[in-house]
Amino acid sequence: MSDLARQKGVDKAAVSRRISRLESLGSLETRTGARGTKLVNIAAYDRAVGETGDAIRTMNGAGATHQPPPSGNGSDPILAREQARRTAYQADIAKLDLDERLKKLLPVEDIASAIGICAEGIVRVLDQLPSRADELASAVGKDGALGARAVLKIVARDLRSAIERELRKLAENGVNAPAPDEEADAA
């Protein structure tokens, strides 16, 4: 709140009162920071103040921030709300565009395709499981349940290693690379 008060050019007590009022109206959410401080998103604060600001101060241009109203009909609370909504929307769109360019946001089709390719690698490993049946049967015949547990632990460790190898191959080749079965079909 101190930084917000400094940025807005008002005292901390005024900002604290306004934040408390906005919280009680449900217009603003805060988080608790280190040593019990209140953390406020400045954009959310500005938006909440724009929506619930004192109409008389806005019309007189004597708001707590001492900023003149924007040109045009800036005192219209509906206009201010719509401008804040449009600005927030544009900011959200810009953030989505940035996330997409930074590859933090990917198309659903690409993710679904990558999951399918990874699942194929895992299924290839799991399809080898029946080949271990003789080993399991002999362990059960020799040591009973104890032998079965020992063999199943070994099988589980081998499966983990094989799945890891398959997924590493996919990561090295790129997820969009064809699976080994597809390469054999193409040849």
**DSSP assignment of the chain, as one string?**
-HHHHHHHTS-HHHHHHHHHHHHHHTS--EEE-GGGPEEE-HHHHHHHHHHH--HHHHHHT--TT--PPPTTTTT-HHHHHHHHHHHHHHHHHHHHHHHHHTTSS--HHHHHHHHHHHHHHHHHHHTTGGGGHHHHHHHHHHHTHHHHHHHHHHHHHHHHHHHHHHHHHHHHH-TTSPPHHHHHHH-
42 and 75 both lie in a single domain: yes
Q: Is the pLDDT of residue 72 over 80?
A: no
84 and 29 both lie in a single domain: yes
At 162-177, the pLDDT tens digits run 899 888 888 887 655 4
Percent of the chain with pLDDT over 70: 79
148 and 167 both lie in a single domain: yes
**Boundary (domain end) residue, out of 101, 130, 149:** 101
